[in-house]
Amino acid sequence: MMAVAVVVLAYLLGSLSFAVLVSRAFGLPDPRSHGSGNPGATNMLRTGRKSAAVLTLLGDMAKGWLAVSLAGYLSARYQLPEWVIYAAAVAVFLGHLYPVFFGFKGGKGVATAVGVLFAISPWLGLVCLLTWIAVFAITRISSLAALIAAAVAPLFGYYLLGDVVALAALSVLTVLIFWRHRANIRRLLSGEEGRFVKK
């Protein structure tokens, strides 16, 4: 029962949509009906409030990190099986994508995935973050950077951790990120995906 409770708690943490919460606190339009319709940091930038975007980014990362770290602590304290940690990683991510508190309409999960990766292994999080930065610096396309970083996460994860369960969990996150970015993938293939232009 404790293992189930940990996973459910992780999902509920993931269901806290910081884009929506920050928008309400700042008196901004609901991100689900503004810009791209995605409740995430990138869409929050379109409101013109950089501070709101930063808070959203940090909040989404923090909940991913907290859920997995808490699962690790509780697993050690109550001698739960190791898979509980990785189940919590998937659960918090699903909570962000499909939040029970906000009509199951969530974001694409990149920031939350970063928090999850750093909680699983700081080295894994750092390598994937550096991958995102490198691809973005070259292409100026945020979605492409996210997709490539997500694609290499299971490979780096298995190399660093040598754990099949970790590989399975990270693979699930990768598949979900690609699924949530399917519209971006279509635009990338047609050459229509937007770039961040240096000013």
Say how many domains are in the chain. 1
Domain that holds residue 44: 2-190
DSSP 39-82: -SHHHHHTTT-HHHHHHHHHHHHHHHHHHHHHHHHHHHHTT--T
Q: Give the pLDDT score at 28.
A: 77
The pLDDT value given to residue 72: 95
**Residue 196 covered by a domain:** no
84 within domain boundaries? yes
Q: Is residue 199 part of a domain?
A: no
Question: Residue 140's CB: how many other CB atoms inside 10 A?
Answer: 14
Alpha-carbon span 190 to 199, nearest angstrom: 25
Query: What's the Cα-to-Cα distance from 176 to each of 3, 50, 109, rounded to whole Å?
Result: 23, 27, 9
Which has more pLDDT, 197 or 85? 85
Look at residue 197 and tell me if it is in a domain.
no
C-alpha 53: how far from its chain's center?
15
pLDDT in tens, 99-123: 999 888 898 999 999 999 999 999 9
Report the pLDDT value the prediction gives residue 198, as an integer from 0 to 100: 59
Residue 18 covered by a domain: yes
The answer to whether position 171 is within a domain reads: yes
| Tens-place pLDDT, residues 1-23 | 899 999 999 999 999 999 888 88
Q: What pTM, to 2 d.p., does this model score?
A: 0.91
Q: What is the per-residue pLDDT across 122-147, written as a single tens digit (0 to 9) for each?
A: 999 999 999 999 999 999 998 999 99
195 lies in a domain? no
Q: Is the pLDDT of residue 199 over 60?
A: no
